[in-house]
Homo-oligomer: A and B are copies of this chain.
Amino acid sequence: MVSLAQSSATTTTTTVASIPRLQTLILTVEDTRRIVEHVGLDRLMDEMINRLTQAFEQFDPVKTVVPVRTGFSYEQPHVGLVEWMPLYEKHRQIMVKAVGYHPQNPGLYNLPTVLSTVSAYDPVSGHLSAVIDGTFLTALRTGAASAISTKLLASPNSQVLGLIGAGAQAVTQLHGLSRCFDLKQVLIFDSDPTVSQSFAKRVACLGLGHLKIRQAEINDIVAAADILCTATSVDVNDGPVFHDQDLKPWLHVNAVGADFPGKFEVPLSLLERSFVCPDFRDQAIREGECQQFKDLTQIGADLSSVVKHPEQYHHYQQTFTVFDSTGFALEDQVAMNMLLDYATELQLGTLVELESATAEVKNPYSFVL
């Protein structure tokens, strides 16, 4: 293994001109930590929001193919799933995010609910060019996507943010929204009181000291909120996570928890009188809030369309709006490439030879000789 910082010294002793070196960049947690340290969380979130806005503006499903994710889900030994979210940007990049969702991880193993890695492939040769952490990246891009939808669809004067589910994703929801709105108050609820209690401490790093963060009952939260984020691990068929009563008529909801057939967070009655904007329509119909619609014509334009033509959707800012965020591989690609750009700039990461390719390409054994 060759650390990039030392590569010139080390490779000269091992490189043989006739042997093609297929190197894969491994970006570890420590590398990501250094990137964040260098750039700063706020600048990274701002850049993520800007890059993602641009990616949605330019998104062309003919040039960038995004199949609905597939994977394995199970009930034993614990409820969980491992999925693959692939993306093919023609002539340029193939990206696959592998993502595990295991809601019992925090309680049983002191591990995050979401564990993930992202791989990039070169569509010219099939070479695996990079493997990087997807856990931090997933949280970051989910916050950025909600920020974009909220900027376009919520009332611009929104000041009160409600968070139902105060776990890992809630941190980046608040972060993303705090970069776009002049929030005054955050009301939080989590089914686990220790999670509610630790929230203020967990977001202390965001420098939002002026914000009033307090725990509240769900009914009080939804009555006060201008913007509501649901980021729960509600069980299949146990949704919705709040009642459709006493809502501000301009309420914008970011429903980010849905990621599983049967799992939903928002009352159908609210969806039915809202402009519902999915991140990825086909997936939202299968796994998101849009599952609840019998009549699929009730689904609104997707986020990419809203970003492309914001003026057409401006009037929804004073009505009920719901962003149905199931997780879109385009968001992961943007986050991955941002981190890889910084890795290049800061010379971070480690190059490894993972694929056996040797001078004799027609001999699978020649690398041993």
Contact = CB atoms under 8 A, between A and B. Distances in A.
A72 B98 contact: no
Contact of A364 (B94, B135, B350): B135
Contact of A102 (B70, B125, B140): B125
Contacts of A171: 362-365
B28 A361 contact: no
Interface string A344-362: 0000001011111101111
A72 B100 contact: no
A33 B167 contact: no
28 contacts: A22-B111, A22-B115, A24-B117, A27-B354, A29-B353, A29-B356, A32-B367, A41-B365, A41-B368, A74-B88, A74-B90, A78-B124, A102-B125, A105-B361, A110-B361, A111-B125, A111-B357, A112-B364, A115-B125, A115-B357, A135-B364, A136-B364, A175-B365, A198-B362, A202-B360, A202-B363, A202-B365, A202-B366
Interface string A100-144: 111001100111111111010101111110011111100110000
A225 to B, nearest CB: 21
A267 interface: no
B109 A20 contact: yes
In the complex, the count of this chain's copies comes to: 2
Interface in A21-44: 22, 24, 26-30, 32-33, 36-37, 41
Contacts of A134: 355
**8 cross-chain pairs, A with B, having the tightest CB-CB distances, nearest first:** A100-B126, A139-B364, A72-B88, A202-B363, A115-B126, A29-B353, A136-B356, A36-B368
B354 A131 contact: yes
A45 to B, nearest CB: 10
A105 B125 contact: yes
Interface of A: 1, 3, 20, 22, 24, 26-30, 32-33, 36-37, 41, 65, 67, 70-72, 74, 76-78, 80-82, 84, 86, 88, 90-91, 94, 96, 98-102, 105-106, 109-117, 119, 121, 123-128, 131-136, 139-140, 166-169, 171-172, 175, 195, 198, 202, 205-206, 350, 352-357, 359-369
A33 B366 CA distance: 10
Contact of A96 (B98, B114, B354): B98
Interface centre among A115, A136, A169 (most CB of B within 10 A): A115
Nearest to A166: B362
Contacts of A167: 362
Contacts of A98: 96, 119, 121, 128
Contacts of A111: 20, 22, 125, 127, 357, 361
A168 B360 CA distance: 9
Contacts of A33: 356, 367-368
